[in-house]
Structure 1
Amino acid sequence: MSFWEKPLGRFGRWMESGGGFVRGLSGWRRWCCAFLAGIGTALAMAPVYVLPLLALGFTTLVLLIDAAATHPRPRRSAFVAGWFFGFGYFLAGVYWMAFSFFVQADQFAWMAPFAVTGMPAFLALFPALAALVCMAFWRPGWSRILLFAVVWAVLEYVRGHILTGLPWNLAGQALAGTAVGAQTAAWYGAYGLSLVAVLLAAAPSAGLGQQSKRPWFGAPVMFAGVALVLVTGFVRLTLPEPQGDGTNLVRIVQPNIPQREKIDSDYWVRNFERQLEHSIGAIPPDANLYIIWPENGAPLLSEAQRALAMLSQQLPDRSLLIAGAVRREMNADEEMDYFNSIAIVEQTPQGRAVIDHYDKHHLVPFGEYLPFYDLLNAIGLAQLTPYGDSGFAFGSGPRVIERHGTRFAPMICYEAIFPGASYPKGDRPDWLVTVTNDAWFGDTSGPRQHLDMARLRSIEAGLPMARSANTGISALIDGKGRVLARIKLYKAGKIDAPLPPPLPPTLYSRTGDWVFWILCVALMAAVFGADRKTRSAD
Structure 2
Amino acid sequence: MRARSGNCASGPPLSPRLLAKPRSSGLDSFFSRLSGLLAGSAEKLRALKGWRRRLAAFLAGLAGALAMAPVYALPLLAVSLSVFVILIDGAKAHARPRASAFAAGWFWGFGYFLAGVYWMAFSFFVQADQFAWMAPFAMTGMPAFLALFTGVAALVSVPFEKTGWARIALFAAIFAMVEYLRGHILTGLPWNLAGQALAGSAAGSQTAAWYGAYGLSLVAIFLAMAPAAGLGPRDKPHALSGLVVMLAGTAVLYAVGAARLALPDPEGDARNIVRIVQPNIPQREKIDWDYWAKNFERQMEHSRGAVPPDAQLYVIWPENGAPLLEEAATALQAIGDDFPENSVLIAGAVRRARGAEGAERWYNSIAVVEETPRGRAVTAHYDKHHLVPVGEYLPFFEFFKSIGLAALTPYQDRGFYAGAGPKTIEAGGTRFSPMICYEAIFPHASYPAGERPGWLVVVTNDAWYGDTSGPRQHLDMARLRSIETGLPMARSANTGISALIDGKGRMLARLALYQAGKIEAPLPPALPPPLYDRFGDWVFFVMLLGFLAPALAAKPSARK
TM-score (norm 2): 0.93
* Cα displacement string for residues 457-483 of structure 1 (whole angstroms, at most 9, x for unaligned residues): 000000000000000000000000000
**Partner of residue 357, structure 2:** 333
User: In the superposition, relative to structure 1, how do residues 2 and 526 fare at CA in structure 2: closer, same or farther (>3 Å)?
Assistant: farther
Counterpart position of 1:466: 490
Aligned counterpart, 2:467: 443
SS in structure 2 of the partner of residue 157 of structure 1:
helix
Secondary structure at the residue paired with 1:119? helix
1:146-187 Cα shifts (integer Å, max 9, x gaps):
111101111111010010000000000000000000000000
Find the residue that maps to 1:340 and give its secondary structure.
Answer: strand
Partner of 2:184: 161
Partners of 2:406 and 2:118 lie apart in 1 by: 20
What does residue 179 of structure 1 align with?
A: 202
Residue type matched to 2:75 in 1?
A: P
2:114 pairs with 1:100: no
Matched residue, 1:66: 89
Partner amino acid for 1:410? P
Change (3 A) 1:359 1:512: same
Contact 1:40 1:89 (8 Å CA) reproduced: yes
Q: 1:138 to 1:256 in 2, by over 3 A?
A: farther
Q: Is the 8 A contact 1:369 1:383 kept in 2?
A: no
1:365-416 Cα offsets, whole Å, 9 max, x none, are: 0000011111221111236442121000110000100112211000000000
Question: What amino acid is the match of 2:461?
Answer: N
The counterpart of 2:476, out of the listed 452, 460, 480, is 452
Identity of aligned residues (%): 66
Determine if contact 1:366/1:383 at 8 Å carries over to the other structure: no
Distance 1:140 1:206 in 2: 8
Give the corresponding residue for 2:373.
349
Query: Does the 8 Å contact 1:65/1:131 carry over to 2?
Result: yes
Aligned pair 1:215/2:236, yes or no? no
- Mark the CA change 1:260 to 1:138 in structure 2 (over 3 Å): closer, same or farther: farther
Q: Secondary structure at the match of 1:522?
A: helix
1:285 aligned counterpart, secondary structure: coil
Partner of 1:292: 316
Do the aligned partners of 2:159 and 2:556 also contact (CA within 8 Å) in 1? no
Q: Distance in 2 between matches of 1:522 and 1:206?
A: 18
- Whichever of the two has the greater Rg, that structure is 2
State the number of aligned residues.
533
Change in 2 beyond 3 A, CA 1:111/1:246? same
- Counterpart-to-counterpart distance in 1, 2:515 and 2:161: 51
**1:371-386 to 2 correspondences below 5 Å:** 371-382=395-406, 384-386=408-410
Query: 2:338 is matched with which residue?
Result: 314
> Could you tell me whether the CA contact under 8 Å between 1:203 and 1:221 is conserved in 2?
yes
- Partners of 2:164 and 2:235 within 8 A in 1: no
Residues 1:504 and 2:518 aligned together: no
Amino acid at match of 1:504: P
Task: Tell me what 1:482 maps to.
Answer: 506
Shift of 1:358: 0.3
C-alpha distance in 1 between matches for 2:297 and 2:408: 25
Decide which of 402, 408, 420 is 2:432's aligned counterpart: 408
Q: Which consecutive residues of structure 1, in runs of 5 or more, have no partner in the other structure? A: none
- Equivalent in the alignment of 2:50: 27
Take 2:267 and 2:31, find their aligned partners in 1: how far apart are those partners?
49
Counterpart of 1:38? Answer: 61
1:333 deviates by 1.8
Partner residue, 2:146: 123
How far the C-alpha of 1:6 sits from its partner, in A, is 3.5
Equivalent runs, 1:169-318 vs 2, <5 Å: 169-208=192-231, 209-318=233-342
SS in structure 2 opposite 1:251? strand
Deviations 1:322-369 (A, max 9, x none): 000000011122211000000000011221111110000000000000
RMSD (Å) for aligned C-alpha atoms: 1.5
Query: How far apart are the structure 1 equivalents of 2:238 and 2:362?
Result: 63
Q: 1:330 to 1:22 in 2, by over 3 A?
A: same
Separation in 1, partners of 2:81, 2:555? 27
1:430 and 1:463 in contact (8 A); partners too = yes
Task: Report the equivalent of 1:425.
Answer: 449
Structure 1 residue 141 displacement after superposition = 1.7
Supply the AA of the counterpart residue of 2:124. F
Query: Judging changes above 3 Å, is the alpha-carbon distance between structure 1 residues 82 and 397 closer, same or farther for their aligned structure 2 residues?
Result: same
Q: Whole-Å Cα distance in 2 between the matches of residues 110 and 80 of structure 1?
A: 29
Q: In structure 1, the residue corresponding to 2:322 is in which secondary structure?
A: strand
Distance (Å, rounded) in 1 between the aligned partners of 2:357 and 2:486? 43
**Structure 1 position 392 matched with structure 2 position 421:** no
My pick for the range that moved more, 15-24 or 232-241, is 15-24
For residue 525 of structure 1, what is the aligned residue in structure 2? 549
Per the normalisation by structure 1, the TM-score is 0.97
CA contact (8 A) 2:101 2:154 kept: yes
- Counterpart amino acid of residue 102 in structure 1: F
Q: 3-state SS of the aligned residue for 2:158?
A: helix
- State the distance in 2 between where 1:436 and 1:534 align: 48
**Residue identity matched to 2:179:** E
Residue of structure 2 in register with 1:85 after alignment: 108
Confirm or deny: 8 A CA contact 1:367 1:383 kept in the other structure: no
Does the CA-based 8 Å contact 1:368-1:383 persist in structure 2? no
**Counterpart residue number, 2:5:** none
